[in-house]
Amino acid sequence: MLNRKVDDIIKKVTQLNPMPSNVSRIIWEIEKSDVTIDTLTGLISLDQALTALVLQMSNSVSLGYSHSCSTLKEAVMYIGLARLKSILMTSSAANMLKSKLAGYSLGAGELWLHSLTTAVAAEWLAQALKYPNAEEAYISGLLHDIGKLLLDQYVLGNYIALVDSVKNNQLPLWQMEEKLLGINHAYVGGLIAKHWNFPTTLVDAICYHHYPSFAKKNHQLSAIINLANAFVKGYQLENTSSIGNKIHPESMNILKIDIARVEELKIGMMASGRLPETFKNGQTL
C-alpha cells in the first residue's frame, strides 16, 4: 500500500508543468554579462502574471522594502538581478503556495506566509554566518515546504491518524508522513525542484532541510534552512505550527555553532527588523 502511494506521488511530480520557456529565457538573459534592464523588462512585460509578481515583491513591506516602485523598470532596478532571478525561479510555485491546504489545516496564504518568512530568515542567517550565496538561501527557504502541495490530498485522507501519531509519539511531522505515506514533504519538494531543473545545491537544501547531514552537495545550505525553519515557527499563525520544527543537532555541527551562538543569532535576527510585525500579525502580502 505504501509503495503504491509513493509511486503515485512521484508520478504526480513528473506530471507537473516544467519551468515555462519564457521564464527560462529571462533567466538565461540575466546570466549574460551585457544584459540591459530594458531587455529584461521588455521580456517580463510580455507576461502579465510575471509583471504583477515582480511589482508585488518589489513593493512588499513584508520583505523589508520601504521604497514604492510604480513601474516594472524601477522595480527591477530596485531589487537587483540576483533577487529578480530568485523571483523568476520561484514564480511557478508562488501562486500554488498561496493555496489553501486542507490536509495540513492551512488556510489560503498561510503556507506562503511561512515560506516567505523562512526565506527572509534564511537569507539573514546566510549573511550572518558568512555563507557565500545568500540568494541560494532565500530561494531554498521560499520553496522548502513546496512538497506539501502534492502531499496535501494524501495527508487529508490520513489527517486524524497523522495528528494523533505526531502527538502520541512526539515525532516531527515529516517523520510521521514517512510512516503513514512512505515519503515526506521535504523529499517530495526536492523531487519537484529537480523536475524544474534547479541546481543540485538547491534540490538538496529543499530535500534535506529536516536532516541536513544527508545532503549530497551542500550540507551548509541545508543546515541554514533547517535553522531558519525552526527560528520562524513562532511567527506562524497558531494553527500552522507543526510539532517538531526543531533544529537538528547536526545543523549546529555543520555550521560550527553552539547553543549560545544559536540564541545569539535568533535574537539578532529578531532585532534586525527583517521579520516585521506583518508576520507576527499573520497578514499575507
How sure is the predictor about 261, in pLDDT bands with cuts at 50, 70 and 90?
A: very high
Q: How confident is the model at residue 283 (pLDDT cuts 50, 70, 90)?
A: very low
- SS3 track for 113-161: HHHHHHHHHHHHHHHHCCCCCHHHHHHHHHHCCCCHHHHHHHHHHCHHH
The pLDDT tens digits of the residues spanning 35-67 come to: 899 999 999 999 888 898 888 887 764 455 556
- What is the rounded CA–CA span in Å between residue 91 and residue 70? 20
Rounded Cα distance between 195 and 203, Å, is 10
Give the model's pLDDT for residue 279: 46
pLDDT band at 245 (very low <50, low <70, confident <90, very high): low
- Segment 19-34 shows an average pLDDT of 86
Q: pLDDT tens digits for 10-26?
A: 888 888 888 888 888 89
Q: What is the pLDDT of residue 152?
A: 87
Q: Among 177, 151, 41, 162, which Cα is nearest to 96's?
A: 151
For 198, how many CA atoms within 13 A lie in the half-sphere containing its CB? Answer: 28
pLDDT at 24: 87
pLDDT at res. 227? 94
Q: What is the pTM of this model?
A: 0.83
Out of 108-122, 134-148, 225-239, 257-271, least confident range: 225-239
Instruction: Give exposure, 253-267, as e/b (b: 16+ Cβ within 10 Å).
Output: ebbebeeeebeebbe
Residue of 146, 132, 148, 147 whose CA lies nearest to 224: 132
Least Cα distance to 132 among 58, 209, 201 occurs for 201
pLDDT value for 280: 45
pLDDT tens readout for residues 61-89: 445 555 677 888 888 888 888 888 888 88
- How many whole angstroms from its chain centre is CA 6? 22
Assigned C-alpha cell, 252 = 549546529
Residue 283 and residue 271: Cα distance in Å, rounded? 20
Q: Is residue 203 pLDDT above 90, yes or no? A: yes
Angle, helix 259-271 to helix 219-231, in steps of 10 degrees? 60
Percent of the chain scoring above 70 in pLDDT: 83
Closest to 178 measured CA to CA, from 164, 188, 190, 192: 188
Average pLDDT, the chain: 82
Question: Within a 10 A sphere around the Cβ of 243, how many other Cβ atoms?
Answer: 15
And the C-alpha cell for 149? 502541495
Q: Scanning the structure block, which residue is given the C-alpha cell 490530498? A: 153
**What sign does the CA torsion over 252, 167, 208, 140 have?**
negative
- pLDDT band (50, 70, 90) for residue 233: low
The pLDDT of residue 18: 80
- The pLDDT score that the predictor gives to residue 2 is 62
* Average pLDDT rounded to a whole number, residues 233-256: 66
Does the pLDDT at position 273 exceed 80?
Answer: no
In which element (H, E) is residue 6 found?
A: helix 2-14
**Alpha carbons 167 and 222: distance in angstroms, whole number:** 26
| Predicted pLDDT of residue 239 | 39
Nearest-CA neighbor of 53 among 72, 36, 39, 35? 72
Confidence at 130, pLDDT banded by 50, 70, 90: very high
Q: What is the mean pLDDT of residues 91-110?
A: 82
